[in-house]
Amino acid sequence: MDLKHCVPESILEPSRQTPVLGNYEIAVLGGGPAGIAAAVAASRNGRKTILIERYGFLGGMGTAAGVTNFCGLHANVRGEIKQVVHGAADDLLARIARLDGLKEPHALFGGRINAQAYDTSAYKIAADDLMLSSGVTVLFHALAVGVSMSSTSVLDAIVLETKSGRGAICAEVFIDCSGDGDLAAWAGAPFELGDGEGNMLFPSMMFRINGVDAQRAGEAWKTIPQRMLEAQSTGRRFPRRVPMVRPQKHGIEWRANMTQVSRT
């Protein structure tokens, strides 16, 4: 298409007054596992705390991206499977268990660490309850888009876009749990990407399989990797060579972690 008019490289936005939506001692950006733990800890230590999340639920990639298992909360300690991560994890696991949403941990990666499958909706409900009972204010559907700083080293406010319009949250301390370092980057903190040569962590997508017949599936978590190995020996190439396909708490549902956009 031949565009006759000149398209500028940038535009100048008019300045505006942004309303302050609240003033807190601690503002946590991001409601994934890191944000949940940070907000609970801050609030339980008597700090007026807000947790800001772009989606309408907590859990981060653990709920939004279908991860559906905690990897590393349990480990093989001298032959015995033990929970090795505690703190806020205890409160979250207890709540998910009360909702009947936890499966027994199973060994991964040669048995050193264990993964524990959970029901995604139970996790969301448990995390909401943990926030409420810890006294954390939660602001959902709020996408952080920038910061306001009174000097190069003092962050005063985080700027949000919400369905009700743009607003700011002021705080004494900000904790970046965005998973992407958004807040730190906007505040001018130095960062590096990947290995410095343009290589980032492989993106992957987990998915769930429903309506599984447990009897017919058997121990498919053993047979699928074997069959993929056999296929590879006859020339078939998979982006991800070691798949994880596992039953969830309720055997009708399985999770699959077997896709990957790989460069090799």
Q: With CB under 6 A as the contact rule, which of the stretches 20-28, 172-180, 217-225, 229-237 interacts with ligand FAD? A: 172-180
Site string for ligand FAD, 85-124 (x = CB under 6 A): ----------------------------------------
Site string for ligand FAD, 125-144 (x = CB under 6 A): ------------------xx
**Cα separation, 224 vs 140, whole angstroms:** 39
Q: How far is the CB of 66 from ligand FAD (least distance, A)?
A: 7
Q: Are 31 and 56 in contact (CB under 8 A)?
A: no
Of these, 21, 28, 50, 62, which contacts ligand FAD (CB under 6 A)? 62
Using CB under 6 A as the binding rule, whether residue 69 contacts ligand FAD is answered as yes
Of these, 51, 171, 182, 228, which contacts ligand FAD (CB under 6 A)? 182
Reduced to 3 states (helix: H, G, I; strand: E, B; else coil), residue 219 is: coil
Applying CB under 6 A, the site for ligand FAD has a residue count of: 31
If residue 152 lies in a helix (H) or strand (E), which one and from where to where? Answer: none
CB-based burial, 86-107: b 16+ in 10 Å, e otherwise: eebbebbbebbeebebbbebbe
Read off the DSSP letter of residue 110.
Answer: G
Q: What is the dihedral of CA 219, 224, 226, 232, to 10 degrees?
A: 180
Report residue 3: phi and psi, to 5°. -85, 120
Nearer to ligand FAD by C-beta: 91 or 182? 182
Using CB under 6 A as the binding rule, whether residue 52 contacts ligand FAD is answered as yes
Interface residues with ligand FAD (CB under 6 A) are 29-35, 52-55, 60-62, 65, 67, 69-72, 143-144, 177-180, 182, 204-206, 257
